[in-house]
Amino acid sequence: MAGANATRAATGEDAGGGTNAPTPTIRLDISDAVATITLDRPDALNALTVPMKRELLAALRAVARDRGVRAVILTGAGRAFCAGQDLKERLEPDAAPLGVEVRERYNPITQAMRGLPKPIIGAINGVAAGAGASLALACDLRIVAEGASIALAFGRVGLVPDSGATWLLPRLVGAAKAAEIALLGEAVPADEIVRLGLAVKVVPAGSLLEEAGAMAARLAAGAPRALALTKQALNAAWDRGLDAALEYEAHLQDLAGRSADHAEGLDAFMAKRPPRFTGD
């Protein structure tokens, strides 16, 4: 798939095209080194079902493996980003216990996003509620559309924030604001999301994907390994003191310094030309 422009459903297996093939709920489009993962159940505001979580994880794993993908956009089809867990599915008699659902289906998604060695931009096109808010928070960067919002709506259905929200939110906005957002559960509107530093900017809904695409293209032109190591350093720094962070930076810089991309960056600088990074 590397380098190719492709669109496919992310079922995690060959859909086969047979009449019994399940309707895909995740779209994976790859173009010019940017993968766009679209949550695609617009009639249910992209609420997450078991197959959808499986497909989302498969899509994240596919883009992790694909050397041709250098940046990822996560967005929602229709008017919502994601309304969280599909609450109708929870009422089905064979629904897994919540602890199992979270451990086996949600947590691996958050881990895949935070561990993905490429930057993920959340193009937050509408409401991101419950586990949908957690998905938004697990992105590296966010751009929000006017009218979008983030709501830790878990309390309204008697649940606690999950999928990493209690870990990510305080680190992103501070403990006091995180407590306000998590305990009151009110929707944080787009301009406030930006004011809190949770998103880079708010843009008109019609230009959201264009703006996210421009940011992704900029990232895709960067040195892939350096970006991956930068994400790794930022992830690790959240759990470390200064001395450990300094040592880890030195270790990662040692790795980056041996890369072909570093040599190319120096060469391009001296020649006053744009670098052509390969990820080697």
Residue among 81, 154, 167, 277 that touches ligand T3D (CB under 6 A): 154
Q: How far is the CB of 151 from ligand T3D (least distance, A)?
A: 7
If one asks whether residue 86 binds ligand T3D (CB under 6 A), the answer comes out as yes
Residues 126-145 close enough to bind ligand T3D by CB under 6 A:
127, 129-131
If one asks whether residue 164 binds ligand T3D (CB under 6 A), the answer comes out as no
Q: How far is the CB of 87 from ligand T3D (least distance, A)?
A: 4
If one asks whether residue 162 binds ligand T3D (CB under 6 A), the answer comes out as yes
If one asks whether residue 85 binds ligand T3D (CB under 6 A), the answer comes out as yes
Q: Specify the DSSP class assigned to residue 48.
A: B
Residue 143, classed as helix, strand or coil, is strand
If one asks whether residue 213 binds ligand T3D (CB under 6 A), the answer comes out as no
For CA atoms 58, 60, 65, 70, give the dihedral sign: positive
If one asks whether residue 188 binds ligand T3D (CB under 6 A), the answer comes out as no
| Token duo for residue 139 | 């992105």
| Token duo for residue 221 | 């032109």
- Is residue 194 within a helix (H) or strand (E), and if so which, with residue range? helix 190-195
Residues binding ligand T3D: number (CB under 6 A): 23
Residues 34-73 close enough to bind ligand T3D by CB under 6 A:
44-45, 47
Spatial separation of the C-alpha atoms in residues 205 and 149, rounded to whole Å: 12
Q: Starting from the edge strand earliest in sequence, which strands make up the sheet with 188-189, in order? A: 80-82, 127-129, 149-151, 188-189
Spatial separation of the C-alpha atoms in residues 131 and 176, rounded to whole Å: 21
Site residues, ligand T3D (CB under 6 A): 44-45, 47, 83-88, 90, 98, 101-102, 127, 129-131, 153-154, 156-157, 159, 162
